[in-house]
A and B are shown apart, each in its own frame.
Chain A
Amino acid sequence: MTSTARTLSRTLRLVVAIATAWLVGSAAAAPNMVSVKGGDVELLFPVADEGPTLVAPFSIDVVPVTNADFLRFLEAHPEWQRGNVPEVFANENYLAAWPAELGLGDLDPAAPVTGVSWFAAAAYCEASGGRLPTEAEWEFVANAGYQGPRGRDEPGFNERILVLTANRSHQPGPVGQGDANFYGVKNLHGLVWEWVFDIGSSFNTGDSRSEGDRRLQLVCGGGSAGAIDKSDYAAFLRYAFRAGLNGAYSSGGLGFRCAV
């Protein structure tokens, strides 16, 4: 009961923070961010009878949050250190690769931080004046190609991001390598999975009917029936990954970046 209440209050605070961020600080993107004009985004499984989702202008980190970034956050916010964080906000895999509470050991400071729960990622973004990108925002950016806003119009794009997604290393390298996409954003596919604000799993009851439908589409044999691009296998992998998540989950392959 208490933990549920705390979770709720935390989520509420987050929502308020986001609303505030949108109202107050919408203007300038941080130096490590790029601003994205927004527009219509076609999600892999559009909600029936609704058109494309409209994404308002936003800014997003060029690269995922790194180990070094997260270490600084932990120093300033000890409540998110491994020994202090309540179990409801982070499961036992939280920062499991870190040899010490505040020590990276052999971990590359420039590599993306992983093993971070949704709550911790959201708290990090909140502390830096931002928030996690919504799924629609993340997909809007990730659907862009290297030359234009619609990657799937570029020959070989689906194959390229599938290889990047499926062939990731268990020890992701430093952020910032590889080509930036049309919006100037990097490492969307080849390094780690990334949290989004609305992961569409059971802890998000906002639209349980359609989320439930989508979850079914992602796990059953006819899984591609409603998908807009049946050959975008990398997108199937992303959506399926999100379908299995809850907010306290963390794993070695899952990091995040922030948006404003």
Chain B
Amino acid sequence: MRDKRGNVHFGAIYGIAAIIVALAAGIALFGNRADAATTSNAGTGHSHDLTINQPNTLHVSLTDPEDLVPVDELPVVKGVLGFAPNAAPAPDRDYRAHVEVVLDVTEKVMRLADGVEYRFWTFGDTVPGPMIRVRHGDYVTFTLRNHPDSLMPHNIDLHAVTGQGGGAEATLISPGQQATFSFTALHPGVYIYHCATAPVGMHIANGMYGLIVVEPKEGFKPVDKEFYVVQGDFYTKGDFGERGLQDFDMQRAIKEDAAYVVFNGSVGSLVGENALFADVGDDVRIFFGNGGPNLTSSFHVIGEIFDTVNVEGGRLVNHDVQTTSVPAGGAVMVEFKVNVPGTYNLVDHAIFRAFNKGAVGQLVVVGDKDPSIFTERTDIRPFDPASEQ
């Protein structure tokens, strides 16, 4: 009886799913054609890259001569990590390499907010874990080490990996163990990595995520400042601001009722003396990830417009974007020129998260004002509707 009802139910779901897929395919085809037409008619404006809507097999298959060098003949280089809010340095080479990356897993009590502590599980002793940066086509040998003082088993799923579990199964290790596996970075892009040991949600909710950037062979264009910011939602027994060492609240996590939504692992991590700094005229790039575990970020910088956004961290470049949606387990790369001085707030524009749960950071821009772009207040006086008539 119950089984039968279940089958009917699933049948209906599959039917609806099939219709949705068919519709989506149709929309995608139509959308591409419309896009191409619009672009060919538009003679002015930004010079958009017309290749971005074409099938990306060219980018995926590694057929350059450098890609065919056997792994054991590749130069071995140590992966250089970036600790938030500092991005890892760009790979300074124009050839394929064998990159060795080592990450340590620890469990430690750290500050979540003023007066609030939390038992974080970390990659590299920090939340987010260190940013890893390799070059498209690199052969990466990855070693994960679980500190002997850990109480839990851990592993890592790098979204930049093509293969079983993104490395999760290969790297499952108990306290005091280390494990190694290798992969070729087949796809350029900005990728999340996270712990994928059961219960996965709890490991992520405790802070186990970071970014791995696979830079295109030609490299990203040079900018003046690069930053590394990852959002995460936290589920504590006590509500926002309740003092003391706070336990993870499983029910709250299941209900997706975050007590904290923060950038870089704690409230205030990018505020005041921790703020990001840039000079007027700088081109700024932010590698922005969302570890989740649950919430999608509506990433926005108050008072700025992103010149470009690498949508979902991939090759599709959008221009002139106010707010970009970054899914849990996803990332984005945004670039913008800072034209005038000021304090620019980074927020999740699901705005109660910013002002009531911690998702706010600051980019302080110093330098000369430019009234042709922005005047500060030029006038203030009482407004009397009667006097207008």
A positions within 8 Å CB-CB of B: 93, 158-159, 162-163, 166-168, 170, 193, 215-221, 223-224, 231, 233, 236-237, 239-241, 243-245, 249, 251-253
Does B250 contact A93, Cβ atoms closer than 8 Å?
Answer: no
Among A168, A244, A253: residue with most chain B CB under 10 A: A244
B319 within 8 A of A: no
Does B169 contact A240, Cβ atoms closer than 8 Å?
Answer: no
Having A166-B152, A170-B151, A216-B169, one finds 7 other A-B pairs with CB under 8 Å, namely A162-B248, A218-B198, A221-B157, A223-B199, A224-B199, A240-B152, A253-B150
| 29 A-B pairs (CB sep. < 8 Å) | A93-B148, A158-B250, A159-B249, A162-B248, A167-B247, A168-B151, A216-B169, A218-B197, A218-B198, A219-B172, A219-B197, A220-B196, A221-B196, A223-B199, A223-B200, A224-B200, A231-B250, A231-B251, A233-B250, A237-B199, A240-B153, A240-B172, A240-B199, A241-B152, A243-B153, A244-B172, A249-B177, A251-B148, A251-B174
Among B155, B168, B200, B251: residue with most chain A CB under 10 A: B200
Interface hits, B225-280 → A, CB 8 Å: 247-251, 254
A219 to B195: give the CA distance in the assembly, Å. 9
Number of chain B interface residues as a range: 20 to 34
Q: How far is the CB of B191 from chain A (nearest CB, A)?
A: 14
Q: How far is the CB of B297 from chain A (nearest CB, A)?
A: 20
Per-position binary interface string of chain B over residues 136-171, scored 1 when its CB falls under 8 Å from any chain A CB and 0 otherwise = 000000000000111111010100000001001100
Does A231 contact B165, Cβ atoms closer than 8 Å?
Answer: no
Q: Is the interface of B mostly helix, strand, loop or mixed?
A: loop
By a CB distance below 8 angstroms, the chain A residues around B202 are: 166, 233, 236-237
Q: How far is the CB of B373 from chain A (nearest CB, A)?
A: 46
By a CB distance below 8 angstroms, the chain A residues around B89 are: none
| Closest chain B residue, CB of each to CB of A158 | B250
Does B165 contact A220, Cβ atoms closer than 8 Å?
Answer: yes
Does A221 contact B250, Cβ atoms closer than 8 Å?
Answer: no
B175 within 8 A of A: yes
Among B165, B172, B174, B202: residue with most chain A CB under 10 A: B174
A253 to B175: give the CA distance in the assembly, Å. 8
By a CB distance below 8 angstroms, the chain A residues around B251 are: 159, 231
Does B198 contact A217, Cβ atoms closer than 8 Å?
Answer: yes
Among A193, A215, A251: residue with most chain B CB under 10 A: A251
Q: How far is the CB of B291 from chain A (nearest CB, A)?
A: 14
A136 to B174: give the CA distance in the assembly, Å. 21
B176 within 8 A of A: yes
A49 to B4: give the CA distance in the assembly, Å. 18
B173 within 8 A of A: yes
Q: How far is the CB of B254 from chain A (nearest CB, A)?
A: 6
Does B165 contact A219, Cβ atoms closer than 8 Å?
Answer: yes
Contact A240 to B176, CB < 8 A, known contacts A219-B155, A220-B165: no
B217 within 8 A of A: no
A153 to B69: give the CA distance in the assembly, Å. 60
Q: Compute the total of residue contacts between A and B using a CB distance below 8 Å.
A: 98
By a CB distance below 8 angstroms, the chain A residues around B111 are: none
| Closest chain A residue, CB of each to CB of B171 | A219
Interface hits, B102-149 → A, CB 8 Å: 119, 148-149
By a CB distance below 8 angstroms, the chain A residues around B196 are: 219-221, 223
By a CB distance below 8 angstroms, the chain B residues around A253 are: 150-151, 175
By a CB distance below 8 angstroms, the chain B residues around A219 are: 155, 165, 168-169, 172, 196-198
| Closest chain A residue, CB of each to CB of B175 | A251
A167 to B199: give the CA distance in the assembly, Å. 15
A162 to B155: give the CA distance in the assembly, Å. 20
Per-position binary interface string of chain B over residues 5-29, scored 1 when its CB falls under 8 Å from any chain A CB and 0 otherwise = 0000000000000000000000000
A147 to B157: give the CA distance in the assembly, Å. 40
By a CB distance below 8 angstroms, the chain A residues around B152 are: 166, 237, 240-241
Of the residues A162, A215, A221, A239, contact of B200 by C-beta under 8 Å: A221
| Closest chain B residue, CB of each to CB of A156 | B251
A162 to B250: give the CA distance in the assembly, Å. 8
| Closest chain A residue, CB of each to CB of B150 | A253
| Closest chain A residue, CB of each to CB of B152 | A237
Does B197 contact A240, Cβ atoms closer than 8 Å?
Answer: yes
Contact A93 to B248, CB < 8 A, known contacts A221-B196, A252-B148: no
A168 to B248: give the CA distance in the assembly, Å. 13
A217 to B199: give the CA distance in the assembly, Å. 10
